Structure 1
Amino acid sequence: MKLATVSVKEKEFVVIINGEQMVSIETINQTEGKEWRTDLFGLIQENHLSELNRWYRSEGEHKLSSFPIVGPDDIQYVAPYKSPGKILGVGMNYVEKAIELSGQLPQEEPVIFMKPNSSLIGPDEFIKLPPQSSEVTAEAELSIIIGKTCKDVAEEDAIDVVAGFTTSLDVTAKDIHAKNPRYMQRAKSFDTFFSFGPYFITPDEFPVLKDISVETVLNGEGCHQNIVENMMYQPWWIVSFFSQIMTLNAGDIIMTGTPGSAVIRDGDIVECRIPGFKPLYNPVSKFKAK
């Protein structure tokens, strides 16, 4: 099942993407007599997403073709939700990228980091280049959305705690990080340095995760591309790993690593492209002090 959060006349709500059509959860509630949350964060947190997906798989997919639709000309895609509990990341996860950056594969455990909620933006919003940095990079990544509170999850059980996947862009002040690896947290924490959306897709749409392709695109030209099979740490392993460090909560986001980064400058447009998802676009501008 594919979902997105859209804005129509400044009202935000969730739609199901059904082929070329979009149907709001509000319309489904009215037509089917349901009381599902109409925001994605609420759908995930209150476990309405599981109920909605069961309905969609059993009967809803066929029914939606006769429901009133949201006109594509009327909508603007926005961030799936605004305030996740945690935004977590894994660095240097593709074999080729790790060797390129360090000359060797990392030992036993991945490089990890966190981003603040203040770094979060959605599709088509501007990535703002901070004055403290002269070299900023953006990286396309497949991100995991946690579906329920969990701790110490076994790798084989990780799929049971995942709500879905989305496209994302991880932005880094590369020159700051290059001064000292211990500056990584600062380099990744500036406002607008994390974007995700527009599509959110449930795991049942991806029976074979290893074939998912992730591509960083700059100004319409592909820069780096790779497939999940070439990750050193696979998605279900990553969920298990983080859950053994900290409690994961519904709505937490985990970036799984990038096939490669692109240096971004004022006026650029950077994208994350993953087949099955609508591409995530973000324009780039210089930071302007208020």
Structure 2
Amino acid sequence: MKIIRTRWLAMLALGFATAAGAQNTYPAKPVMVVVPQAPGGANDVVARILTTKLAERLGKQVVVENRPGAGGNIGTAYVAKAAADGYTLLFTVSSAHVINPALYKRTGFDPVQDFVPVGSVATAGYVLVANTSFLPGSVRELVALARKKPDTVTFASAGNGTLNHLIGEMIQHSAGIRLVHVPYKGAAAAAADVVGGQVTLSVQSLPSAQAFIRAGKLKVLAVTNEKRLPSMPDVPTVGETLRGVGATPWYGLFAPVNTPPAVIARLRAALRKVLEDPEVRETLERQGCEPFVSEPSKFEALIRSDLARWSEVVNAAGATID
């Protein structure tokens, strides 16, 4: 009995030593962060802000690799199947992670079973914008016009099933109005055609729209987040007129499931320090984002709750992509 107990204690000590060793030696080589969207988009911009500082904290190069396609599914599935060693991570936006499973018949990944959340990073500001010649200047006025003249007001999105499409569907459903959806291949093209007057409205992320807003080429009718944005405190939310309408997109860092706990702990500690950096916080805010630091368990709960919520929205909208 004494021999068995001695062996058990030795194995336990070895386990602790191995975990401590993994935390102390990781990373021993560059870390790749996969962004499942194209370069230059909001997700890519935030990822590069993060990884520059993360490299300083980890003491090794952290490289962003863009793997766009299928609304984010290709890059996300790639990380889901990568070695669970902490050297291939995923930086993604909530729309790709919690909407796609309801939207696509086959995504190639399970957002809960295939990943360990390293941590939440930031929330993104989204706004309902219009061509400057559009007479309504508020959600209330938009609703009144759309009720009077159904199927005459057009709204552009980055494509069927994208976040800005689904928020537009939420507005229609809540207000009991009919808008004409015009899907584009990307948010930039949608914003450009709203500026040009080919389409009337669009829901856009602040990183995508703020240059047009500052130049007076787009006007903001409302914030589509659940709360007003610190950078636009005087702009009301859609939910202030249409109760329950609103979404706060988030960005998060993930590792493949079964990544060693010591490696996850090392990444979480580094990420926390990065998000405490005033320079990082200021840079994120300039991009229309707010730093979003959450306990891992609360972030996991948010993911599960978002999956259920967006499944309902997608089903109500009848949006599907094969």
Q: State the TM-score, normalizing by the size of structure 1.
A: 0.27
Tell me which structure has the larger Cα radius of gyration. 2
Q: Which has the higher strand share?
A: 1
Q: Which has the higher helix share?
A: 2
Q: State the TM-score, normalizing by the size of structure 2.
A: 0.26
